[in-house]
């Protein structure tokens, strides 16, 4: 009786620590071969890192042996020779097929494939599904959390702006906590990297992306079990926005530095060989910078979730009074570190974005200021 009680106590503690999603591990059905415990833990970690078409908080098996899911279905929006809209409850968490207008769809590894009435999935030589994948515009769990975060930011900073107006630019309530952060982003990130002349045009984006990433990272540590910033599609979208802003606001000097890095001090035939090397590197750098942004955020947040859940999984592997508390203590320490990492990754992304904007908005006076100083002396 002690082991089940200990397991229940541990799961309750994990809920308080923001990792209750680990309780979502699906038990093998009676007609399926029993999997190794390590394999189940690996599959669960992989499942947690993926997006889902339903907002499932946790699941359990009742006395009748049925899986009971606590959560909410989300709308599935597909384009397959026309628009198909239905609820994700038709998939029943991947256990059943969804029939829409005579077509059958199957949820397989968090992706929707078109199939037959038997739910057949065909594979290629590398065991990759070859079934047709309709265009998926569904409102997934990650999309819901991004919408919630966006609305939260809109409400929070609208209230902060109103409090400034009412109290003569003096924040009240929670605004006292966020004002120093806003000022830090303005003074030590935007102005320091972009300059006082042009930083204002970039401030809305820098503030938005900082708090957006920070809040999403913090939501990933809650019992909601949402891993939005660990989704490479999300980090890619953020990096693409930085890439577009950087290059569409780039000055003449910015583009001249890319395509004419040596300036006008040497004839073109003397610079030709050097340009064959330098210009491709500069052009390649345009794409390496946003790629570094998306990989850094994606890899750090994914690694944190993998390490944290792996440590929790060790408790189920050890099943002892020594290994269990040790893994629990380590997972608790990693959780505290992840709280710091959530803020740190938002800061790094915002800092690098501001640095790229500073490069793009830089202007040179081509020696006019130096000549003016010499005349003055």
DSSP one-letter string for 263-319:
TTSS-HHHHHHHHHHHHHHHHHHHHHHHHHHHHHHHHHHHHHHHHHHHHHHHHHHH-
Same domain, 105 and 169: no
Same domain, 104 and 244: no
Residue of 148, 245, 164, 210 lying closest to 346 (CA atoms): 210
Residue-level pLDDT at 270? 61
Residue of 274, 139, 308, 151 lying closest to 215 (CA atoms): 151
Within-domain flag for 41: no
d(CA 137, CA 100): 16
Same domain, 92 and 193: no
Same domain, 227 and 262: yes
**What mean pLDDT value characterizes the chain?**
81
In degrees, rounded to 5, the angle at the alpha carbon of residue 211 between the alpha carbons of residues 302 and 193 is 100
Same domain, 86 and 196: no
Within-domain flag for 350: yes
Within-domain flag for 314: yes
Q: Tokens for 337?
A: 């570190």
Same domain, 129 and 232: no
Same domain, 303 and 322: yes
Same domain, 166 and 301: yes
Indicate the number of domains in the chain.
Answer: 2
Same domain, 108 and 194: no
This model's pTM is above 0.75: yes
Same domain, 180 and 121: no
Same domain, 195 and 305: yes
Q: How many CB atoms lie within 10 A of CB 210?
A: 23
Same domain, 105 and 126: yes
Within-domain flag for 100: yes
Within-domain flag for 172: yes
Residues in the chain: 377
Condensed to tens digits (0 to 9), the pLDDT of residues 157-194 reads: 888 888 888 887 777 778 888 889 999 999 999 999 99
d(CA 264, CA 255): 14
Within-domain flag for 343: yes
Q: Tokens for 345?
A: 């990754």
Please say if the pLDDT value at position 366 is more than 60.
no
Least confident of 132-136, 306-310, 353-357: 306-310
Residue-level pLDDT at 200? 93
Domain that holds residue 348: 143-361
| Range 292-301 average pLDDT | 92
């Amino acid at each position: 009786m002690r082991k089940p009680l200990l397991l229940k106590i541990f799961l309750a503690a994990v809920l308080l620590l923001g990792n209750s999603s680990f309780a979502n591990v699906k038990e093998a059905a009676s007609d399926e071969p029993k999997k190794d415990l390590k394999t189940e833990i690996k599959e669960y970690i992989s499942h947690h890192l993926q997006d889902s078409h339903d907002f499932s908080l946790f699941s359990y098996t009742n006395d009748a042996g049925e899986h009971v899911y606590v959560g909410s279905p989300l709308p599935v929006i597909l384009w397959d020779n026309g628009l198909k809209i239905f609820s994700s409850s038709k998939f029943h968490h991947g256990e059943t097929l969804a029939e829409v207008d005579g077509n059958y769809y199957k949820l397989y590894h968090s992706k929707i494939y078109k199939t037959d009435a038997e739910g057949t999935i065909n594979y290629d030589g590398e065991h990759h599904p070859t079934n047709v994948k309709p265009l998926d515009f569904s409102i997934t769990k990650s999309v819901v959390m991004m919408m919630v975060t966006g609305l939260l930011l809109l409400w929070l900073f609208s209230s902060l702006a109103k409090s400034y107006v009412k109290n003569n630019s003096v924040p009240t309530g929670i605004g006292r906590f966020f004002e120093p952060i806003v000022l830090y982003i303005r003074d030590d990130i935007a102005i320091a990297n972009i300059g006082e002349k042009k930083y204002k045009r970039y401030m809305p984006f820098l503030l938005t992306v900082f708090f957006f990433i920070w809040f999403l990272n913090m939501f990933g540590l809650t019992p909601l079990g949402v891993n939005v910033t660990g989704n490479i599609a999300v980090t890619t979208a953020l990096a693409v926005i930085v890439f577009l802003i950087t290059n569409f606001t780039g000055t003449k000097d910015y583009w001249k530095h890319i395509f004419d890095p040596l300036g006008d001090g040497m004839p073109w035939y003397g610079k030709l060989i050097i340009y064959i090397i330098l210009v491709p590197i500069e052009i390649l750098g345009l794409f390496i910078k946003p790629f570094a942004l998306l990989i850094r955020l994606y890899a750090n947040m994914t690694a944190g979730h993998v390490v944290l859940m792996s440590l929790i999984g060790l408790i189920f592997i050890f099943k002892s009074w020594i290994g269990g508390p040790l893994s629990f203590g380590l997972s608790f320490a990693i959780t505290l570190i992840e709280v710091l990492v959530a803020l740190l990754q938002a800061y790094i992304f915002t800092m690098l974005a501001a640095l790229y904007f500073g490069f793009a908005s830089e202007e040179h006076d081509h020696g006019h200021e130096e000549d003016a100083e010499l005349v003055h002396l």
